[in-house]
Every structure is written in structure tokens, then in C-alpha cells.
Amino acid sequence: MQHAQPYYVPSPSYWPIIGSIALLFMGFGAAFVMNDVEAGPWVLVIGLAILFWMMFGWFGTVARESEAGRYGPQEDISFRWSMSWFIFSEVMFFAAFFGALFYMRVLSVPDLGSGATGEYLWSNFKAGWPVAGPGIEDTFRPMGAWGLPALNTALLLTSGVTVTWAHWALKVGNRFQLNLGLFLTIALGVLFLFCQAYEYAEAFHEYNLTLKMGAYGASFFMLTGFHGFHVTIGTIMLIVILFRCLAGHFKPEHHFAFEAVSWYWHFVDVVWLMLFVLVYWL
């Protein structure tokens, strides 16, 4: 292309096949666990252990390649495209669950409480929201928006600011502010997760709100649960980036790993805003 350096093609690597073996174990392990096969937990744990080993080794290799200067401007563009498309795939994953929430709230629940279906099948059912569903006897209290969830919104939005503050610092070579900003972002992320865990405990023990609570319970826990899982991953990625910063990685003009993680963090932030409005508030 325009520049002399040929595009970097890594040499043969064992990490992919190790990752495949991990997923083979995890697939069988998870299926066994869910069907009460005795060996299940072991198979699953072995799979997870191999997966973590693979990620540690593979991502470490990538970090070393990056620091060794193997990635030029063209590779940088590749990383940008790929991270964008990866985030798009994540958006579509969440869209499936938001779609399910929309469908249940706007279509299936009202249908069950009206017309011939309501009259002949579920005559005692009053459609509305939040609701578990006509066949669920247990009652629950829904999760309000203005307590912990509002605090969580503030936490995540602030963490979006701190990560950007760290990025500005990285671009002008202010390493102290970079590390501080990253540390604050991680702290806010961990605090968010702590609040979520507290909220779940409250939901289980005081609100009787579980996955089994029909349309509301399922959509609430699946959406907040997958979001929380993504925040966990994002926090781990931020911690890795912090360690890399402390080890002196990244340059003002060459730091896509940092940017990718901050993109991911902002994405998780936006999903939370959607959750806050559509799951907690409205």
C-alpha cells in the first residue's frame, strides 16, 4: 500500500485451537450441568480454565506484538473497523432481548388480558405492566427507577467522563492523569457492579422478584444480567489496560487497545441508559 511496511500476518499460533478445545469442554460442561450429569461442573470448570489461559496467552501475545511495533497505520484501521463491527454485533444481541421486552409488554401481555383469549382462558387476569403473567400466582414488587438505579446511572455516566479524561491525558502524554482517570473509571465500574449485586439481593429477598416472575422478571433479569456481565468484562478490560499503562505501554499516537476498551465502555454505558429508561423507568 502507501507505506513500505507489509501488513502484519502473525506466525502460526496454538491459541486458536486451545480456545476451541476450551469451548468444546464448556459446551459439554454446561449441557451436563443443566441436565444434572455428575461430571458436568468439572467439565465446565476445565473448559473455563482453558479459556482463561487462552485469553491470557493470546491477548498477551497481541500486546507484545503491539509494543514491538508490528502494527502500523493500516493494521490500526483494521482494528478500528473490527471493533466497530464487534460492537454492532453486541448491539444486535441486546436488540433481541429489548425486542422480547417490547413484544411482551406491548403485544403478548395485553393480548392475554383482552379479547377472547382474556375472556375464555384467563378471565381473572388484568393486563398491565409490570406483570408476571396470567398463570403465575406469586406476587412481586417491581424495581423502582429512582433509588439505586438512578445512582447507578450517575456512576456509569461519570465513568464515561473519567475514561475520556484519561484518554485526553494519554494523548498529551500525561501519564499520571491517565492512570488516575483509569483507576477512577475502574472504581466506578466496580461500585456499579456492587450496587447491582445489592439490588439483586434486594430483589430476591425483599421484592420476591426472580427470573421466574414471568414477563417482568424474565426481561428484567435477562437485560440487567447481560448488561452486568458486559460491565464485568469491560471492567476487567479496563484493569488490563491500567496494568499495561502502569507497565509503560501505549504512546500518545499509538494506543488503539485503550480506545477500543473505552469504545466498549461507552457502548455498555449507552445500553444502561436504554435499560434505565425502558426497564426501570417507564
Partner 1 sequence: MEAVHGHDHAHDHDHHHPTGVTRWLTTTNHKDIGTMYLWFSFAMFISGGLLALGIRAELFQPGLQLWRPEFFNQLTTMHGLMMVFGAIMPAFVGFANWQIPLMIGASDMAFARMNNFSFWLLPPAALLLMASFLVPGGATGAGWTLYAPLSVQQGMGMDLAIFAIHIMGASSIMGSINIITTILNMRAPGMTLMKMPLFVWTWLITAYLLIAVMPVLAGAVTMLLTDRHFGTNFFNAAGGGDPVLYQHVFWFFGHPEVYIMILPAFGIVSQIIPAFARKPLFGYSSMVYATASIAILSFIVWAHHMFVTGMPAAGQLFFMYATMLIAVPTGVKVFNWVATMWKGSMTFETPMLFSVGFLFVFTMGGFTGLILAVTPVDIQLQDTYYVVAHFHYVLVAGSLFALFAGTYFWLPKWTGNMYSETLGKLHFWCSMIFFNITFFVMHFLGLAGMPRRIPDYSQQFADFNMIASIGAFGFGLSQLIFLAAVVKCIRGGEKAPANPWEGADTLEWTHLPSPAPYHSFETPPVVK
Per the listing, cell 470448570 goes with 45
Residue number with CB closer to partner 1 (22 or 186) = 22
d(CA 47, CA 282): 40
As a whole number of angstroms, the distance between CA 33 and CA 46 comes to 13
Q: How far is the CB of 107 from partner 1 (least distance, A)?
A: 7
With respect to partner 1, which residue has the nearer C-beta, 109 or 261? Answer: 109
- Residue 129 near residue 105, CB atoms below 8 Å: yes
Task: Determine how many CB atoms are found less than 10 A away from the CB of residue 260.
Answer: 19
Task: Give the nearer residue to partner 1 in terms of CB position, either 105 or 244.
Answer: 105
Smallest gap from residue 198 Cβ to partner 1 (A): 21
Q: Which residues of this chain interact with partner 1, rule CB under 8 A?
A: 1-2, 6-7, 9-17, 19-21, 23-24, 26-28, 30-32, 34-35, 37, 58, 74, 77-78, 81-82, 85-86, 88-90, 92-93, 95-97, 99-100, 103-104, 107-109, 111-112, 131-136, 210-212, 214-218, 221-222
Nearest to 199 by CA among 157, 144, 266, 275: 144
What's the closest the beta carbon of residue 201 comes to partner 1, in angstroms?
18
Q: What is the dihedral of CA 233, 237, 242, 244, to 10 degrees?
A: 150
> Which residue do the cell numbers 496494568 mark?
243
Rounded to whole angstroms, the Cα distance separating 81 from 54 reads 24
Minimum separation from the CB atom of position 91 to partner 1 (A): 8
Q: Which is nearer to partner 1, 148 or 218 (CB)?
A: 218
**How near is the Cβ of 4 to partner 1 at its closest, in Å?**
10
